[in-house]
């Protein structure tokens, strides 16, 4: 694992000012200077794998120096495991499936390959968000530690946008993954289709009864009022 520290320069009175970051590790009196001021950009210090220790507190101070002298920032104590911000989940797949006539979305993913989840030193939890095309608000779903999640109650014919992110037990949420789209096919709810069939059947029975009543009324009229013979 690696980590980066950034700082915001204070007022320098218009004088050329240099900045240096110093740190020492827990239970050690040895003071080290930042190993890399360039990789992460201006006003930063990058710690590569060789300079990063897990479960160890770092005591960090930034020193600003110019013609007026030197000024020290307040020291900051950090443990790398509590400031981890992982990369987004990878290999996200969104599939439209069906269960007893009801479509649903199955979203699956893999942890970021740089997160060492197999060794057990970091455990990730996942969160999904979905948004129906044309709407502004996202619907959030916490997936816990599982790497698959099913989403139900979808709108017939709707297109959904899906994103996934992750965070360690102690640390920060990653950025959201890329957006993945899924189109839900047009469908009729089973209950609704059942009522449609019942309605059609009742309408058919009603028409048959009307026709029978009409025919019977003709026969009854013929019996009660037989035709009168002509002169």
pLDDT of amino acid 218 = 56
pLDDT at site 220:
47
What is 112-162 written as a DSSP string?
Answer: -TTS-TTTTS--EEEEEEEEETT--PPEEEEEET-SEEEE--PPTT-EEEE
Nearest to 84 by CA among 119, 125, 50, 118: 125
The string of pLDDT tens digits covering residues 98-142 is 888 789 999 999 999 877 777 777 889 999 999 999 999 999 999
Contact 47, 35 (CB under 8 A): yes
Q: Which residues touch 150 (CB under 8 Å, ≥6 apart)? A: 104, 105, 106, 107
Q: Which two tokens stand for residue 28?
A: 């050690």
Digit-coded pLDDT (tens) for 39-95: 999 999 999 988 888 788 999 999 999 998 999 999 999 988 888 888 999 999 999
Per-residue confidence (pLDDT) for residue 101, from 0 to 100: 78
Q: Using CA of residue 106, residue 112, residue 118, residue 120, what is the dihedral sign?
A: negative
């Amino acid at each position: 694992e690696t980590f980066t520290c950034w700082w915001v320069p204070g007022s320098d009175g218009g004088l050329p000012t240099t900045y240096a970051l110093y740190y020492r590790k827990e239970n050690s009196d040895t003071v080290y200077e930042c190993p890399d001021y360039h990789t992460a950009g201006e006003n930063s210090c990058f710690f590569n794998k060789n300079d990063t220790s897990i479960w160890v507190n770092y005591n960090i101070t930034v020193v600003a120096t110019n013609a007026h002298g030197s000024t020290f920032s307040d020291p900051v104590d950090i443990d790398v495991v509590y400031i981890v911000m992982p990369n987004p989940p990878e290999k996200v797949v969104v599939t439209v499936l069906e269960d007893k006539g009801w479509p649903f979305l199955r979203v699956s993913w893999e942890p970021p390959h740089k997160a060492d989840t197999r060794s057990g030193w970091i455990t990730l939890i996942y969160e999904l968000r979905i948004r129906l095309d044309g709407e502004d608000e996202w619907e959030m779903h916490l997936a816990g530690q599982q790497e698959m999640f099913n989403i139900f109650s979808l709108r017939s014919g709707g297109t959904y946008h899906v994103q996934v992110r992750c965070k360690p037990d102690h640390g920060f949420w990653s950025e959201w993954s890329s957006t993945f789209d899924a189109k839900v096919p047009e469908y009729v709810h089973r209950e609704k289709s059942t009522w449609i069939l019942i309605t059609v059947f009742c309408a058919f029975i009603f028409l048959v009864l009307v026709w029978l009543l009409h025919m019977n009324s003709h026969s009854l009229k013929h019996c009660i009022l037989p035709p009168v013979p002509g002169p």
